[in-house]
Chains A and B, each alone.
Chain A
Amino acid sequence: MSRIFLILLSALLVNNYVFIKFLGICPFLGVSKKMDTAVGMGFAATFVLVMSSVITWFVNILLVKMGLEFLTIITFILVIATFVQFVELFLRKNSPGLYEALGIYLPLITTNCIILGVAILNAQQSYSLLESVFHALGAGLGFLLALVIFAGMRERLELYDLPKPFEGVPIALILASIMSMAFMGFQGLIRL
């Protein structure tokens, strides 16, 4: 039980996928301009993460049994792409505003390194099903946390009178580096 909690906390804070492992940077910079899109993106990615980690856990057992481990990446991408398409269809029907706001970044969840990374790490560390789910949940919530913190800061930055060369993306990149240094403070919090 405590191991599951530790895995969740580790993926969420100590090994935060955006700030410590530097995965999923593209949507992190792309959709963090506004708070609502950031939250929507975070939840969409979390949903895809959890669902795909469940399916890939079963698929991985099948792959190992048949001795086809070399197909890991391609099958995982297939699973992830399916769920991203599903989320896209669902959002288009139930939340057209968010669908429009996310734009190209929604189908790009498919190539979000966090999701493939988590699925492959689950397979490598041979986590159990429950551990995989909590690892994915932690990674997703960590991504959501990173997006929300960053979007809040960027919304405030809009109000400041910045020097011309720093406006927009440059200051966002500087901000991201400072945030990732701040997250270094969580190192050594827990040991697995």
Chain B
Amino acid sequence: MTIVYSVILMGVLGLSFGIFLAFSAKKFEVKEDPRVKMIVEVLPGANCGACGYAGCEAYARAVVANKAKPTLCLPGKASGVSEKIKEILENSGKS
């Protein structure tokens, strides 16, 4: 019986807090530069940290903010990720 109660209690608590957080995430949504999302999609997504940032998203933000060079991604070098990032940055500059 104890097991059933614990599962029910934790399930209910977890679900209600999850709903609360999902709701507040929508309410406090921050509009980000669309280029960040585009660059994240181009990056390999391994979150390896070889670029010196906390993850692919942090690196993408730094690139958009002009704090990092677009050539720092090591795992994506062979497949031409740096060129794609440069392209994204240049294209958005024109339009």
Binding site for B on A (CB under 8 A): 59, 62-63, 66-68, 71, 74-75, 78-79, 82, 85-86, 89-90, 92-94, 96
8 sampled A-B residue pairs with Cβ under 8 A:
A68-B9, A75-B10, A82-B17, A86-B21, A92-B28, A92-B30, A93-B29, A96-B30
Determine whether B24 belongs to the interface, using a CB cutoff of 8 Å to chain A.
Answer: yes
From the candidates B2, B6, B13, B30, name the one contacting A93 in the complex (CB within 8 A).
B30
List residues of chain B with CB within 8 A of the CB of A74: 10
A61 CB, min distance to chain B CBs, angstroms: 12
Q: How far is the CA of A75 from the CA of B16 in the complex (A)?
A: 13
B55 CB, min distance to chain A CBs, angstroms: 13
Q: How far is the CA of A152 from the CA of B3 in the complex (A)?
A: 51
Q: How far is the CA of A82 from the CA of B24 in the complex (A)?
A: 11
- Shortest Cβ distance from B20 into A: residue: A82
List residues of chain A with CB within 8 A of the CB of B2: 67-68
**A71 lies within 8 A of B28 (CB):** no
Interface residues as binary, B10-37 with A (CB distance below 8 Å gives 1, 0 otherwise): 1001100100110011001110000000
**B28 lies within 8 A of A75 (CB):** no
**A75 lies within 8 A of B13 (CB):** yes
From the candidates A68, A94, A96, name the one contacting B5 in the complex (CB within 8 A).
A68
List residues of chain B with CB within 8 A of the CB of A85: 21
**A89 lies within 8 A of B13 (CB):** no
B95 CB, min distance to chain A CBs, angstroms: 26
**B17 lies within 8 A of A79 (CB):** yes
List residues of chain B with CB within 8 A of the CB of A63: 9
**A89-B24 contact, Cβ under 8 Å, with A78-B17, A82-B17:** yes
Q: How far is the CA of A35 from the CA of B5 in the complex (A)?
A: 47
List residues of chain B with CB within 8 A of the CB of A79: 13, 17
Q: How far is the CA of A6 from the CA of B34 in the complex (A)?
A: 53
List residues of chain A with CB within 8 A of the CB of B30: 92-93, 96
A85 CB, min distance to chain B CBs, angstroms: 6
B60 CB, min distance to chain A CBs, angstroms: 16
List residues of chain A with CB within 8 A of the CB of B14: 78
From the candidates A66, A78, A96, name the one contacting B13 in the complex (CB within 8 A).
A78
From the candidates B5, B13, B20, B28, name the one contacting A90 in the complex (CB within 8 A).
B28
List residues of chain B with CB within 8 A of the CB of A75: 9-10, 13
**A71-B10 contact, Cβ under 8 Å, with A79-B17, A82-B21:** yes
List residues of chain A with CB within 8 A of the CB of B29: 93
List residues of chain B with CB within 8 A of the CB of A89: 21, 24-25, 28
